Structure 1
C-alpha cells in the first residue's frame, strides 16, 4: 500500500490525512522524501546551463517539498502528542537532518551558482522579492559555512550533527521530567484552593488513573496552585520540583547537555570568523549586536528591579502578619501577590474565570480578526492528530484564506508552553497555496474550560502569530508569514494581545458560562486595572533569563552552566525571592534548538514596537480603526520577510520607537 505521507492528499484543503497515518509510516516516508530532496538538489547543482534565478535560486526554493510535508506532520505530532515511538524517531531523524543540512550548504557547485548570481545581481533584472530571496539564500549558505573547506568544513558538519542530537535530548529530558512528576493531594491539602483549581487537579488525577486530585508541572496547573495554596510546605515542594526540571542527577539531567551545546556554538561561531556566538546570531537581527541587546535589557532592568523591591517589602509584611517568620521565598511570592491583588483590586480569579471560557475567548479573537481584517471562521469536520484539536476554514469575502487548527489543552504527551506553527506556509509559486496554521496551548481541561486572564492573553498572543501566517501575501514560502527576524516575529503576537484589553471586546465576549450575563462593568474595569499588577516580578524574571542567555553566548562557554547562571544573577542583583522564568536546565527556548539562542530578549525588543504600534490605533480612530488595520496588514502582516524588519516597521509607523512606551505600558515609571 502507498505510504499516506507520500501519496497525494485528496482531503479538504490538502490537509494531512491524520486518520490514515501510523507512526510506522514516518521513517520510510522520511527516507524516501530525503532521497528525493537530495536528487533535486543534485540536479540543480549539476545543471550544465549557466546559472540564472529560475534554474538555481527559484529551483532550490521549490525543492524538498515532499520532505517538508513529511516533517511538518511529524514535528507537529512529536511536539503536541509525543509517545515513545515518536521520541525514538526524533532521535533517529535529528542526525540525518543535520547531515543533510551540512551536505546541502556544503555543496560547492551549488554555492558557486548562487555566488555567481549574487555578484551579477544588478544585471539580472530581478523583482524586489526575487532580490530578497537571492540575498537570504546566499546569506544562509555563507552563515552555514559554505565557504569553509578541509578540516574546518568537516568540523562544522560534526558540530551541527552533534547539536541536533543534543537539542533533541534536551527536549525529551524536559518532557520526561514534566510528565514524570506529580503531587497527590489529600483532603487536608486543599486549603485555599478555589473550586476551579481543585476541579483541574481532579481532572489531571483522572488522566493519570488516580482517584485523588494531583498537581503536575503543567504551567496551567502549578501556577494557580502556587497562587492559592495556603499550605506553604506544599507550595515549596511544588515550586522546587518545577524549578528542578532538567536538573536531576539521573538520565534526564540537562546541565551537561547545555554546557556542551554552548561550547559547540562558540566553536561554530569561531569557524565562521565571529568573536562569539552572540555576535554571529545577532548579526541578522534588528538588534544587530550584543551591546544593543544589553542596553535595552539594562534600561528595563533598573526600573523593574526597583519596583520588585518595593513589592517585596509589601509581601514580606503580609507574610509576617500571617505569623510566618523568615525571608520571602520564591514559593511565597505568587501566593502573597495574589492575596494583595484581591485586596487592592477586589479581584478573585475564581470569580473572573467563569466569564473567560475558552470558547468565548476563541470567539473574541475571531471577532477582532473579523473587525480588523474582514476574516470569517467556519468550523471544519476533518480528521486531526488528537481528539482535542479543532479546525476552522478562514475566508475573506468568500475567498479561502487559510485553515486554522487549535490544540488548547494540556496533556502529558505535549511539551510545555504555547506556540504557533504552520504545517504549510502561504505562497504563490510554484502554485498558489493557502497556509495551514496551528496554535498549541496548555490550558487546563474542564467542562467547560475556563481561562485565567493570563491564559486569555496567551490565546490572543498565539493567534497574533497565526494572523501573521494567515494574512501573508508573498510569492515564496520561505519569505512568508513568520519567516522574519527573531526580534520582529513577536511584534504581531504581542500587539494582538492589546485587543483583549479593549473594554468593548470584554463587554461583548466575557459572559458567564452559567447565566450568559456579561462581565459586570466594575469587574471588567478591575480586571483591566490589574493587568499590570505585579509587573516588577514578571519583568525581573523575564529580563534575568534574557541576560543569562546573552551572557552564555557572549563570553567563553561555561563548563558549569549553573555556576555561570549564578554569577550573572549576582552581578545584576537578582532579588532572592524571584527565580528566573527559565532556569538553564529547562530553558527550552535556548537549548532545544537555535531559535531563541542569544534571542530570548526578542520578546522585549518586539514589545518596544508593539506598545508604539497599538498607540497608532489609539491616536487614530480607536482600536478598530479601519485605516490603521489596513496599514498594519499592508506593511507588516502581509509582507513576511520580504523586506528588512526595520523597513517594514518604519513604513507602518514612520519611525522607530524608544523604550519609554514600554516602561509606561508595564507601569514601571515611578
Structure 2
C-alpha cells in the first residue's frame, strides 16, 4: 500500500471500534508475435463501448466544472462546506453517545443482549465513516479550509474513540454476551468473529487493569504515539554529506552527472559534499569505480546521531512496557495474538524456513558479484562483497514487462483491469460522472464497480495525478465499508432521546442512508463500499497527450486495484470484517496476487483494443539477477523487527546497534560495517512494529496461489470464482488459514500452527515483479 498506507494510519488511537483500513514503486515497440494466446483469451471480446469509454475517460483532460450548486463531497447533500463537515461530526458524536448508552443498558433486556454485537459494529461504523472521511480529506483536499476542518473533525472523533476504548461498562456487556451460550449459538460465524475482534481489542487496550494501571496505559500509548512521530520525522531527516575528492571521481562511468561533478570539484578545488539519497549519491554508488567514493557515501547514508538512536530505543522500550502492563511477555506477543502468525515464535519459524529457501540463491548471486569484482580489481579469487559494492557490480534495474509493449496509457491500463475482472469475477468497471462538488478536485475520476448478477457493488474514486501538497506515493483509502443495514433498528437508539436529540442526529442518519442498496430479489439492504485510490502519475494535457505509465506504475495500479476489489467483493454484514479489514499478515495477499497477472501473456493481451491475430512465444518474467540478495535482506529486516519488539528491549543496556550487528554477523551474507546504524532509517518499525514479516509472508502465499490456480490459465473464470468465493467475499470474517488452506487444497494449513507457518516459509517466493516496501 497500501509504505504510505501505514503512515496514514499512525496518528489514530489503538481502538476496539476503529479497525484500520488499508490504504501504502521501458517501454518498447509492440510486437504481437511475442505474446502467446492462451485458450482462455478467446473468451475476452474486442473492446466494448465501456472499454473505449474508460480509455477516453482517463486519457484526456476533463473540462473544469462550473460549480454553482454543489452536491457535496461523495454526493452527501450536507457536505458542501468545511463548516458542514464539523456539523456532521457533532451530529455523529451525539448519535454515538445515544447508541453507547443503549448498549450499556443492554443487560436490562434479554432482547437487547442479542443485539449487542450488531450495535457495537454499528457504533464502530458510525464513527469510522466520519474518521476515515476526515483522514482522506486532510491528506487529499487542496483547500486549506477543508484540511483544517478535517483535522478538527479527526481529533474530535478520535478523542471520543479513546474514551470508548477504556469504557469498562461496554466491555462488561460484551463479556456477558460471550458468556451466554444461547446468544453465542445465535451468532453467525461472521458475527462471532466480529464479537471476538471487539473482545480482543478491549483486552489490548488494558480494559481489565486497575484505574491507576489504565492511566499508565493511556500515558504509555500517548508516549508511543509522540515518539513514533518523532522517529518518523528523524528517518526522513537529511544525513550529513560525504566528502568526495576529485581524484575519487576521475573514473566515473556516468558521462552526464559524473562529468559535472568532476568539473565542479576541479573548478572549486574543494571536496564535493554529496548528500545521501541525492541523485549524485545514487550515481556514485552505481558508477564510481573507486571503492573509496562509494564507501564514503555508504557510511554517510548509514550514520545516526546518538539522539536518533535514543528516540528509537525509547520507542521500543515504551512498547515493551505497554505489553508487560497488559500481561504479555513482549510487544510482539501482544501485536501478533490476532494475526495469522499468532506468536513471535511462529514468525521465527516462517522466517527461518524462508531464509533456508533463499540463502542458496543469494549466495550464488553474491558469488557472481564477487567474480565481477575480481575481474574489475584483478584480485585473488572471490573478494568479499562489501555493502557499497552491491549497486556497482549489480546496478538496480527498473521493473520491465516480460515482453516489449507499446506505450501504455492510463486509460488502456484501466481497460485491461476491467477486462481482467470481468473474466475472473464477472465484474466490470464503468464510468460514473461525478456531480458538481462531489469530488474534491477536478482530476478525480469516479468508477462504478458492477457485478453481472448483483449490479453496482460500490464506487472507486481515482485521484491519480500529482499536484502540489498531495501526499507522495500510492494509497488505498476505505472511506465506507460494506455493512448490512436493513436490521439496524435505529429507533431503538432514540428510545430515551428528546426531540432536540432526534433533530441533532438526523444529519448523521442521512449521511449513512445515501449509500445503501437492496440486493436484487432479496429483502437485505447493504451499505455499499466507497474507496479512494491516490497516486501521483503525470496529468494528461492537450499539448502532451495521455498519461503514459512506466511499468512500475502499472504494477502499482494493479496492486492498489487488488485492494480495491477486495473492498468491493468483501460484502459482509458487519463493518469490522468488511473487505480489507482483516489480519495485517493477510491483507496484502489479493494485491500481491494482482501483480502476478502481469507476468501472463494472456493478461498482457488485454491491453490491446482488438484481440485478433495469432501470437507466439510465452511471456517470461523480468529477471533481476540480484533479487535473491534483496529478498535475503528483507528477511533479515523482518528478523530485526522481531528482535526489536522482543522482551530484550527491556533488559538493562539494550543496544539496538549491537543487536543489528549481531544479527548481521550471525545470519547476514554481506558484512556489517562498524560505525553504521541503519536502524534509525527503518521507518516501518513504527507502522509495522512486529509485523514487518507480513509482506514476505503474503508474497509466499500469493506465489503458491498463483502457481496452483492461475499460472496455466490466468483468465479461467472457475478459478476466479474460487478465489472470490473462498477468500475475497469473506473479508476478515473467516479464519484466513482456513481460506488459504482451502484455496490451495492443503488441509494441514487450516490448523494455522507452527508447522503451517514453517510450511509457508518453505514455499519459494517466485514473484519476480514485486517491489520491496510497497504496502
TM tier, smaller: 0.7 to 0.9
Asked whether the equivalents of residues 99 and 161 of structure 1 are also in contact (C-alpha less than 8 Å), the reply is: no
Mapping for residues 25-424 of structure 1, pairs under 5 Å: 33-34=92-93, 36-46=95-105, 49-50=108-109, 52-63=112-123, 65=125, 67-79=127-139, 100-123=160-183, 125-172=186-233, 191=254, 255-318=309-372, 328=385, 330=387, 332-338=389-395, 355-382=407-434, 383-386=438-441, 389-397=444-452, 399-408=455-464, 413-415=469-471, 417-424=473-480
Deviations 1:563-614 (A, max 9, x none): 43333323322414999xx95334343314xxx2211111222233222222
Q: Distance in 2 between matches of 1:410 and 1:517?
A: 36
TM-aligned CA distance change 1:18 to 1:286, over 3 Å: same
How many angstroms does 1:373 deviate by?
Answer: 0.9
- Check if 1:540 corresponds to 2:608: no
How many angstroms does 1:381 deviate by?
Answer: 3.9
Deviations 1:384-412 (A, max 9, x none): 34555433221122811121233445667
Q: Distance in 2 between matches of 1:47 and 1:263?
A: 40
Q: Distance in 2 between matches of 1:500 and 1:362?
A: 13
More helix by share: 1
Deviations 1:78-122 (A, max 9, x none): 455799999999998888666544421321222111111100034
SS in structure 2 of the partner of residue 63 of structure 1: helix
- Per the normalisation by structure 1, the TM-score is 0.76
Q: Distance in 2 between matches of 1:636 and 1:88?
A: 39
Mapping for residues 631-642 of structure 1, pairs under 5 Å: 631-642=722-733
TM-aligned CA distance change 1:298 to 1:25, over 3 Å: farther
TM-aligned CA distance change 1:348 to 1:365, over 3 Å: closer
Q: Distance in 1 between matches of 2:88 and 2:315?
A: 30
- Check if 1:491 corresponds to 2:589: yes
- Per the normalisation by structure 2, the TM-score is 0.67
> Among 401, 425, 428, which residue is 2:484 paired with?
428
Q: Distance in 2 between matches of 1:638 and 1:457?
A: 24
SS in structure 1 of the partner of residue 430 of structure 2: strand
Query: Which stretches in structure 2 are left out of the alignment for 5+ residues?
Result: 1-68, 240-250, 258-273, 489-524, 750-755, 769-775
Asked whether the equivalents of residues 471 and 638 of structure 1 are also in contact (C-alpha less than 8 Å), the reply is: yes
How many angstroms does 1:616 deviate by?
Answer: 2.8
TM-aligned CA distance change 1:534 to 1:418, over 3 Å: farther
SS in structure 1 of the partner of residue 109 of structure 2: coil
Q: Distance in 2 between matches of 1:355 and 1:223?
A: 30
Deviations 1:602-656 (A, max 9, x none): 122223322222233248x721222221111111100111121112223333323
Q: Distance in 2 between matches of 1:236 and 1:393?
A: 52
Asked whether the equivalents of residues 585 and 691 of structure 2 are also in contact (C-alpha less than 8 Å), the reply is: yes
How many angstroms does 1:28 deviate by?
Answer: 7.2
RMSD: 4.7
Q: Which moved more, 1:255-264 or 1:569-578?
A: 569-578
Asked whether the equivalents of residues 699 and 767 of structure 2 are also in contact (C-alpha less than 8 Å), the reply is: no
> Among 601, 607, 623, which residue is 2:693 paired with?
601
Asked whether the equivalents of residues 664 and 671 of structure 2 are also in contact (C-alpha less than 8 Å), the reply is: no
Asked whether the equivalents of residues 354 and 762 of structure 2 are also in contact (C-alpha less than 8 Å), the reply is: no
Mapping for residues 443-522 of structure 1, pairs under 5 Å: 449-509=547-607
> Among 405, 419, 439, which residue is 2:533 paired with?
439
Equivalence for 1:662: 763
Q: Distance in 2 between matches of 1:68 and 1:369?
A: 29
> Among 588, 608, 616, which residue is 2:708 paired with?
616
Q: Which moved more, 1:107-116 or 1:225-234?
A: 225-234
Asked whether the equivalents of residues 103 and 173 of structure 2 are also in contact (C-alpha less than 8 Å), the reply is: no
Asked whether the equivalents of residues 402 and 435 of structure 1 are also in contact (C-alpha less than 8 Å), the reply is: yes
Q: Distance in 2 between matches of 1:388 and 1:223?
A: 35
Q: Distance in 2 between matches of 1:290 and 1:405?
A: 38
Q: Distance in 2 between matches of 1:563 and 1:414?
A: 39
Query: Which stretches in structure 1 are left out of the alignment for 5+ residues?
Result: 1-8, 179-187, 195-213
Asked whether the equivalents of residues 444 and 464 of structure 2 are also in contact (C-alpha less than 8 Å), the reply is: yes
Equivalence for 1:628: 719
Q: Distance in 1 between matches of 2:385 and 2:663?
A: 21
TM-aligned CA distance change 1:143 to 1:320, over 3 Å: same
